[in-house]
Chain A
Amino acid sequence: MGSLLQVLFDALSLGSLYALGALGIALIFGVMRLVNFAHGDVIAACVFALLWPSVDAVAIIFAGNLPWYLLVPFVLAIGAALSVACEALVFRRFRRANPATMMIASFALGFVIRYFLLMLFSSRPKSISLLPALSQPVEILGARIPLLQLITIAVTMAVLFGLTAFLRRTRFGLEMRAAAENFTMARMLGVRANRVIMGAFALSGALAAAIALILGSQTGTANIMMGASVMLMAFIATVIGGMGSLAGAVLAGFLLGAVATVMQVILPPDARAFRDAFVYGAVILVLIFRPQGLLSARGTRERV
């Protein structure tokens, strides 16, 4: 019972991370058909925003020493601001370009962010202790679950409910959903293109920051490559969820987390090192049988 519960919480917390990442990608894809590969580097940048620039092995904690009620909003704001800056400085110039061009631009931007971090902090992973109180385990029905896992799951649920309420209940949310389905039509109804796209980038950046906080507390290190692996899984989640479908992205994120966790348990010990290969194999199978994704989004068809 205890170990089963352990697996369940592992799956949920890993899935949460992927779901948050997938959501950040799907939001932007929805409004501007951009697959933003710089998303992972925004995550890394948010972690490094807690440190003071130095190339030493020992991290000089800067904002990371703030109490959590200041730390969390600070990191979220950094993520949102960085993401909006990416839009204003780079992606806005590519609004009318085709999706492949935009995707390449996002790769390039990702590299710029990554090498900027490299310049300031060096490529050595630095150990940080972010929100150390969260690593204590909690006993639930005989299973020892790290508090951080519970918080990760709770935060993700809160984000999902909050985002759903925002999209369904507010005027700006309605405009965003309309724009995601048919951008041109939404504009002809007076929806401001720049505001909607900025809003999507701000939300996506805040989601990246949430991932940064979770990853930073979980691993206890800051590494300029740390966003990349989450980004890859999150991207896969948006693809198998159905590009642009927010619900699909979340569902697929959790599914991937579950598959990865379960494989970790059931694979023979010798094969565990190749877990990701099995996960990607499962992804290929999904795409062979459902190439449009689990929940295909409306409005993914070519725009006029």
Chain B
Amino acid sequence: MSLLALSNVSVRYGRLVAVRGITFSLGEGEILFITGPNGAGKSSLLRAIAGVTPPSGGRIDFADHDITGRAPEDIARFGLAMVPEGRDVFGGLTVEENLMVGTGMHSATRGWKARAATELEAVYATFPVLKDRRHAQAGLLSGGQQQMLVIGRALMTNPRLVAIDEPSLGLAPNITDQVYERLIALLAMRKLTLLIVEQSSTRAMMVGGRMMLMRGGEILLDGDARALGQSEAMQAAYFGYGEP
């Protein structure tokens, strides 16, 4: 039983086609890296899944719901937590307020306040630096701290799938290492499914899991990250020479 299933999904912006009929499914507990060069359609695909840019064709199923064309706030309620590219923190809100924004959608369920408090402590345990700066304005945090904040914020929504767009963008390599270290620790701790978009395949090869390579709005390759990373086909597809 897959958690997320896309069938023949396309995304267009006016006449520009960003994603061309993509089909894949993602099972509960999997880690999927989507890699590919700039302009491959990776972010557009994520935005379609999150409901920000509705797909122009195809169907998306998530957690037993048809979410094609649904509003982002509904999709979030089904358990999709999106961490968009560029670390969209709410700069004028404090760190703790940022973390709390996403807990409000569960306010109809009983005991949500207690659960949110527990969740907050769990996030602080994973990212102690956020606890130290809980009352600071989020806009004043460093890039690495902001990345941890947006991941923490996604976890606060009690998600089933966390989709992260370029977690290493604009971060120093050692900070990226830290971010990934925490992500992997999180995976071990809770039942999560991860979908990570990265431009390079190096991280995918280090972490392991499944990897898909996108180019020109299509999936060229799909398989085990480590095996794919070393293959000729990967090199060829990445740099665009020969037939993959």
Contacts and interface: CB of A to CB of B under 8 A. Distances in A.
B100 interface: yes
Nearest to A175: B104
B183 interface: no
Contact of A304 (B76, B84, B91, B97): B84
B88 interface: yes
B58 to A, nearest CB: 20
Given A171-B107, A298-B139, A186 B91 contact: no
B102 A189 contact: yes
Contacts of B107: 171
A185 B104 contact: no
A189 B92 contact: no
B52 A174 contact: no
Contacts of B105: 189-192
B101 A175 contact: yes
Looking at chain A's contact residues, the main secondary structure is helix
A174 B84 contact: no
A190 B77 CA distance: 6
A187 to B, nearest CB: 4
Contacts of B211: none
A77 B113 CA distance: 31
A193 B73 contact: yes
Interface string A50-87: 00000000000000000000000000000000000000
Contact of B102 (A184, A190, A299): A190
B50 interface: yes
A193 B92 contact: no
A181 B90 contact: yes
Interface residues of A, number: 20
A177 B157 contact: no
A122 interface: no
A226 B194 CA distance: 57
Nearest to B139: A298
Contacts of B77: 190
Interface in A141-180: 171, 174-175, 177-178
A193 to B, nearest CB: 6
A188 interface: yes
Contact of A298 (B71, B81, B91): B91
Nearest to B72: A187
Interface residues of B, number: 28
Given A174-B101, A188-B52, A190-B157, A181 B76 contact: no
Interface string B85-123: 000101111000110111011110000000000000000
A298 B89 CA distance: 11
Contacts of B102: 189-190
A298 to B, nearest CB: 5
Contact of B76 (A175, A178, A190): A190
B101 A189 contact: yes
Given A175-B101, A175-B104, A191 B88 contact: no
A185 to B, nearest CB: 4
B210 interface: no
Interface in B48-78: 50-52, 71-73, 76-77
B215 interface: no
Contacts of B81: 188-189
B93 A181 contact: yes
Contacts of A177: 90, 92-93, 97
B153 interface: yes
A178 B84 contact: no
Interface of B: 50-52, 71-73, 76-77, 81-82, 84, 88, 90-93, 97-98, 100-102, 104-107, 139, 153, 157
Given A189-B76, A189-B105, 7 more contacts: A174-B101, A178-B90, A187-B72, A188-B51, A188-B81, A190-B104, A192-B105
19 contacts: A175-B104, A177-B92, A178-B98, A182-B88, A184-B52, A184-B88, A187-B72, A187-B76, A188-B52, A188-B72, A188-B73, A188-B82, A189-B76, A189-B81, A190-B76, A193-B73, A298-B91, A299-B91, A304-B84
Interface of A: 171, 174-175, 177-178, 181-182, 184-193, 298-299, 304
